[in-house]
Amino acid sequence: MSKVLIIGAGGVGRVVVYKCAQHPEVFSEIMLASRTKSKCDEIVADVKRDTGHQNMQTAGVDAENVPELVALIKSFGPELVLHVALPYQDLTIMDACLETGVHYLDTANYEPKDEAKFEYSWQWAYQDRFKEKGILGVLGCGFDPGVTSIFTAYAAKHHFDEIHYLDIIDCNAGDHGKAFATNFNPEINIREVTQKGRYYENGKWVETEPHEISKMINYPGIGPKNSYVIYHEELESLVKNFPTLKRARFWMTFGEEYLTHLRVIQNIGMARIDAVKYKGVDVIPLEFLKAVLPDPGELGENYTGQTSIGCRIRGIKDGKVKDYYIWNNCSHEAAYKETGAQGVSYTTGVPAMIGAMMIMTGKWNGKGVFNVEEFNPDPFLDQLNKDGLPWHEQVGGDLEFDY
Ligand code: NDP
């Protein structure tokens, strides 16, 4: 019997529950817990109907309350807590895992609520305590971070003696028919894309204004899309774990319409994360904005088009320069048909389930806190092919970047 406790009943949580339920041989008992229990009940009812897995329970929990989490973990007795609520809860959930001796996995690094700051320092600080307790913490096991980091590890293992240049390219060419919506939690998404850009070059971090660097990139099956250098958290662990990297950047596509809305949101102060008094009540503008924007979990129904995310890498093999590209394309419609969620939730939830599967079947093991590129990429990428996110690779060809 192996039990998993999934925390967070948003778009990603929905996909994780579907995918875990498709593997009853690994996840024989599933509990979905979140702030609003009714959302868990709705998801679990859908999953029971569609997959036939009946050994599922739900619970309400405040994941910022360690004693509440500890009580829930003790009563259910999981081997692993799979955290797909919000990054604000990473540390409290890690604390509860430490107290109960249960493995931990997440898809996004901890962020303090009062500052949009993306770094692993807070979670890496758990290394010794996780080691002493004999438990495993796996950080950033979604698509990016997650699969992009594992693609990099796979390239380094099978294609290169040294990797020198890494460009992670992330395109969402989907159309949800709304004037403005974010593909995952709006608060977290807007905090991420409005921050300054940052990339790594020759041992240093180079900071840019938001969206200062852009270029057209051709995405397979999609075509050319304007793409912007933004900071993304996996860069921090990748340059540490692959010290031969001379440059590492992250590119994301944004449409003109999206950027215009974002500019207006910032200019009128709605992206602020400090409290303002409104009719005597403290209101955080970005939190309020989240409440009026479309729920990303509800975007799936009319979403068409696909995402394309991958890594373009230049390095050295047998003394010669080698170029390599590895990627996945995911259809929003296919994701919705299978799970009732759109492609961005799907590309995050599938890898999170596979990471959990790797831990529960002992294919990834260790004691302490690890980023996903530190494990063997092969069994993970085999499973990714089988679980709805097949990947492709190309050796040589034009990578479209300056070296
Ligand atoms: P949603 O906002 O749709 O869902 C978040 C869920 O967490 C909601 O059900 C919410 O509850 C619940 N939650 C919030 N606060 C608490 C709390 N204190 N206690 C318990 N539950 C809580 O987000 P998504 O599903 O879109 O994203 C989930 C996670 O995945 C995020 O951390 C996001 O950053 C990450 N992500 C990672 C990606 C990757 O590729 N690595 C890509 C996309 C997302 P309620 O329903 O009550 O609001």
pLDDT tens digits, 282-331: 999 999 999 999 988 888 888 999 999 999 999 999 999 999 999 999 99
- The reported pTM is 0.96
Identify whether 351 is preceded by a cis peptide bond (ω within 30 of 0): no
Residue 78 has pLDDT above 90, yes or no: yes
Measured distance between the N- and C-terminal CA atoms of the chain, rounded to whole angstroms: 51
Question: Per residue in 141-167, pLDDT tens?
Answer: 999 999 999 999 999 999 999 999 999
Please report the pLDDT score of residue 183 as a whole number. Answer: 86
Poorest-pLDDT segment among 28-42, 65-79, 204-218, 286-300: 286-300
| % of residues, the chain, pLDDT over 90 | 91
The protein residue whose alpha carbon is closest to atom 34 in ligand 1 is 108
Q: How far, in Å, from the CA of 84 to the mean position of ligand 1?
A: 5
Please state, in angstroms and rounded to a whole number, the distance separating the CA atoms of residues 272 and 266. Answer: 8
CB 165 within 8 A of CB 314: yes
Mean pLDDT of 278-285: 96
363: alpha, beta or left? (left if phi > 0; alpha if psi -120 to 50) = alpha
147-339+390-395 CATH, one of 3.40.50.9100, 3.40.50.720, 3.40.50.10800, 3.30.360.10: 3.30.360.10
- What's the confidence (pLDDT) of residue 98? 98
Model confidence pLDDT, tens digit, residues 87-118: 999 999 999 999 999 999 999 999 998 887 88
Under the banding of pLDDT at 50, 70 and 90, the label for residue 1 is low
**Mean pLDDT within 332-358:** 97
The protein residue whose alpha carbon is closest to atom 30 in ligand 1 is 84
For ligand 1, is residue 287 a contact (CB within 6 Å)?
Answer: no
Pinpoint the residues of the chain covered by CATH 3.30.360.10: 147-339+390-395
Cβ–ligand 1 contact at 9 (below 6 Å): yes
| Averaged pLDDT, 348-364 | 98
- What's the average model confidence in pLDDT over 258-270? 92
- CA 334 to each of CA 39, 121, 177, 273, 292: distance values in angstroms, whole numbers, following the listed order: 23, 37, 17, 35, 27
pLDDT of residue 297: 80
Ligand 1 atom nearest to 9, measured from its CA: 9
**Distance from Cα 349 to the centre of ligand 1, integer Å:** 11
Ranges for all domains in the chain classified under CATH 3.40.50.720: 3-139
Strand bridging mode 136-139 / 368-371: parallel
Instruction: State whether the beta carbon of 185 lies less than 6 angstroms from ligand 1.
Output: yes
61 close to ligand 1 (CB < 6 Angstrom):
yes
194/210 Cα distance (integer angstroms):
6
**Across-strand partners of 314?**
165, 323
Nearest Cα to 19, choosing from 75, 82, 106? 82
Stated as kind and residue range, the H or E segment containing 194 is helix 186-194
Measured from the CA of 146, which atom of ligand 1 is nearest? 41
The answer, yes or no, to whether any atom of ligand 1 lies below 6 A from the CB of 108, is yes
Q: Which ligand 1 atom is the nearest neighbour of the CA of 61?
A: 20
Q: Report the relative pairing of strands 320-331 and 276-278 from DSSP bridges.
A: unpaired
Q: Band of the pLDDT at 184, cuts 50, 70, 90?
A: confident
Q: How far apart, in whole angstroms, are the C-alpha atoms of residue 261 and residue 259? A: 5
Instruction: For Cα atoms 50, 51, 57, give the angle at the middle one, nearest 5 degrees.
Output: 100
What integer best gives the mean pLDDT of the chain?
96
Q: Is 86 in the pocket of ligand 1 (CB under 6 A)?
A: yes
The average pLDDT across 126-148 equals: 98
User: Residue range 195-224: average pLDDT?
Assistant: 96
Task: Kindly write down the DSSP assignment for every residue of 77-129, as one continuous string.
Answer: --SEEEE-S-GGGHHHHHHHHHHHT-EEEESS----TTS----SHHHHTTHHH
Quick: pLDDT tens for 9-50: 999 999 999 999 999 999 999 999 999 999 999 999 999 999
pLDDT over 70, % of the chain: 100
CATH number for the region 3-139 comes to 3.40.50.720
pLDDT value for 338: 97
Cross-strand partners of 34: 60
Q: Determine what percent of the chain falls in helix, strand and coil, rounding each to the nearest 5.
A: 40, 30, 35
Q: What pLDDT sits at residue 274? A: 93
The verdict on the CB of residue 351 being under 6 Å from ligand 1 is no
| pLDDT score of 118 | 86
